[in-house]
Structure 1
Amino acid sequence: MVHSMTAFARVEQNGVYGTLSWELRSVNHRYLEPHLRLPDNLREVEGPVREALRNGLSRGKVECTLRLTESSSESALQVDHARAQQLIHAAEQIAQQIKQPAALNPLEVLAWPGVLSTQSVDSQELNSAAATLFSQALQQLKESRGREGADLARLISERLDAIQNETNVLRELVPEMLEVQRQKILTRCQELQVEIDPQRLEQELVLLAQKSDVAEELDRLTTHISEVHRVLKTGGAIGRRLDFLMQELNREANTLGSKAIDPRSTQAAVNIKVLIEQMREQVQNIE
């Protein structure tokens, strides 16, 4: 399956610790280049996240952002009522020994060590939840890259078919174009009233045919087209291979243009180069 390097994924999960969310964005890049943004208390997941990226992706610049919104519910605060009662009782006993005691402040009672505590979250549980959630986000990202990759493969295949059609038409036109050039030379000679040795004329026409022979270029174009189709069916990390094949296709198209002896062959070469450039732009996004 063909995968694009451009995709986005976002997953979210609620728990006793609050809300965890991952956002993953990937764009095309020559190599795999992860960028992680993690809360300080979740730095332990960096290693597993990088390992998962190496195992799951081959290329692309991937930005991974983890956010933790801590729970603000009342259950997050725990009051030790027994300890608070002991503190109040002790304060009342002391107050009886004071002539004008100050009123007992509830906030001072809560501030006493051990009376009020925050519900602690197991850091191992939190890190495990973040790592598990990342696996879901990565899977979503890979599926998105796969869908876009399938679209890119379809677009490239359509352009390959268009190039093949151009080569087929041009192959059929080559004999006709050579005959047209032969007639042009003969007509020009008649207009100039120049007598040419028939044998010499045939030699020149043979040389012209050799210089303008594009059969080899057309064959190589067909071979490269078949190879691109094969690579697309193979799938996996094929971006670099496809980029190389685009260069080879473009080389043959340039040679084809340099040998053009007819406006039709020139136009065919131009059309092929345009199609190759369109494919090359799409290939840049393939993993």
Structure 2
Amino acid sequence: MTGYASVQHSPLPTDGEAPASTGPTARLGLEIRSVNSRFLDLSFRLPEELRQLEPGLRELITRQIKRGKVEVRASQDAGDGAALQAPNHQALQKIASLQEKIQDWLPGARALSVADVLRMTAGSSSQAAPDEAAWMQLAAQAVDALREARAREGARLTEMLQGHITQLRSLADLAVPLVPQLVEQQRQRFLERWKDAMALADGSHLPEAAQDRALTEATAFAIRIDVAEELTRLRSHLDELSRLLTQGGDIGKRLDFLIQELHREANTLGSKSAVLEMTRISVDMKVLIEQMREQVQNIE
């Protein structure tokens, strides 16, 4: 299902007070969006300094989201004051040592300027290890918000699917009286054919044998077009679908299976069709079932 969530955490004061001395000192931002997909496809767009968070974020998300193409984006802004921080002594010593070695080999090389040193040390000062606990807390908030958004869409999908179930029940009810009518019509046709055969008979064939042949053909036709079992199974699948949608929870895979079974029964109705009305019912059923299939594949 589709959904979107965006959460931020900023410890920077908004009322002129000094920032707290504990906890994360950077502005953290996390964005999660998902679109429809039959399986879970999780991707991350993280800056290099946050790559180490990916396993924890992946574990947190996969525990609560089972389907969808999910994209996670994270950002960390140290704020304007980060650029003014003095480089650490170890970094300066290393730069000075490297400069001496290079100038020994290349006496004509110019010395590093203050700006050069600041650029070289800016990366190391901003690459501080992220506060994993703060990030996990932020991710939990984002996942909860995403699940709420997906739940709202799920409620809309459930309403639509229940409407399709009602329509399928109505089509099944229309199909029920067609079979006895067709069997009776065909029986009358066979009897008429038998009477015509008797009228043309020259006495060389026994009437009983001709009548038995007609009744056998009528019985075979009735068996061939009987869809009572298919309609019974179709109603059973619809009942289970409705029950699962009302129950909620992790039902996506079971809904997939039931949709496949519904399609199987609708196909059988069409293959056994002996009248245009039954064919129309089968086609209408398959259209509704296909619409349901597209939506069911998005439901967890």
Aligned CA-pair RMSD = 3.3
Shift of the alpha carbon at 1:111? 11
Following superposition of structure 1 onto structure 2, how do residues 210-225 of structure 1 map, counting pairs within 5 Å? 210-225=223-238
Give the distance between the partners of 2:196 and 2:231, measured in 1 at CA. 35
Ranked by relative contact order (alpha carbons within 8 Å, sequence separation 6 or more), the top structure is 1
Mapping for residues 73-88 of structure 1, pairs under 5 Å: 77=84
Distance 1:157 1:55, change over 3 A: same
1:112, 1:176 → 2: CA distance?
Answer: 93
Shift of 1:20: 2.1
> 1:28 Cα shift?
3.5
Q: Shift of residue 30 of structure 1?
A: 4.3
Cα offsets for 1:77-133 (capped at 9, x unmatched): 479xxxxxxxxxxxxxxxxxxxxxxxxxxx98x9999xxx9xx89956744333222
CA distance in 2: counterparts of 1:187 and 1:262, whole angstroms:
20
Whether the aligned pair in 2 keeps the contact of 1:48 and 1:131 (CA below 8 Å) is yes
- Aligned residue in 2 for 1:11: 7
- Helix, strand or coil at the partner of 1:35: strand
Deviates more, 1:255-264 or 1:183-192: 183-192
Letter in 1 for 2:252: G
1:42 and 1:127 in contact (8 A); partners too: no
- C-alpha deviation, 1:183, in angstroms: 4.1
Q: Is the 8 A contact 2:38 2:298 kept in 1?
A: no
Shift of 1:190: 7.9
**In structure 1, what is the equivalent of residue 254 of structure 2?**
241
Secondary structure class of the residue paired with 1:10:
strand
Q: Check whether the contact 1:214–1:259 (CA below 8 A) recurs between aligned residues.
A: yes
Partner of 1:39: 47
> Which residue is equivalent to 2:35?
27
Deviation at 1:187, TM superposition (A): 6.2
Does structure 1 retain, via aligned residues, the 8 Å contact 2:244–2:251? yes
1:219-269: CA deviation from partner (whole Å, max 9, x where unpaired): 111111112122223322221211111111111111111111111111111
1:177 corresponding residue in structure 2: 182
Alignment match, 2:135: 130
The 2-side partners of 1:172 and 1:230 are apart by 27
CA deviations over 1:44-64 (Å, ceiling 9, x no partner): 432321221122122333210
Q: Mean Cα displacement is larger for which, 178-187 or 162-171?
A: 178-187
Is residue 157–residue 229 contact of structure 1 (8 Å, CA) maintained in 2? yes
Q: Is 1:286 the counterpart of 2:286 in the alignment?
A: no
TM-score (norm 1): 0.74
Q: State the distance in 2 between where 1:37 and 1:9 align.
A: 15
Please tell me whether residue 265 in structure 1 is matched to residue 278 in structure 2. Answer: yes
- d(CA) in 2 for partners of 1:221, 1:131: 46
The one-letter code sitting in structure 2 at the alignment partner of 1:213 is D
Give the percent of matched residue pairs that are identical in Structure 1 and Structure 2.
Answer: 41
Equivalent position SS for 2:5? strand
Q: 2: distance between equivalents of 1:229 and 1:148? A: 17
The DSSP-based 3-state class of the residue aligned with 2:42 is: strand
SS in structure 2 of the partner of residue 15 of structure 1? coil
Matched, 1:253 2:266: yes
Distance 1:78 1:260 in 2: 81
State yes or no: 1:168 paired with 2:173: yes
Count of aligned pairs? 250
> Relative to structure 1, is the Cα distance of residues 43 and 205 closer, same or farther in structure 2, using a 3 angstrom cutoff?
same
1:189: Cα distance to partner? 7.5
Q: Which moved more, 1:245-254 or 1:45-54?
A: 45-54
Equivalent pair of 1:220/1:252 in contact (CA under 8 Å):
yes
Counterpart amino acid of residue 267 in structure 2: N
Write out per-residue CA displacement over residues 11-41 of structure 1, whole angstroms, 9 at most, x where no aligned residue. Answer: 2232334532211122344443321222222
Aligned match of 1:144: 149
Structure 2 unaligned segments of length 5 or more: list them: 13-24, 87-112, 202-206
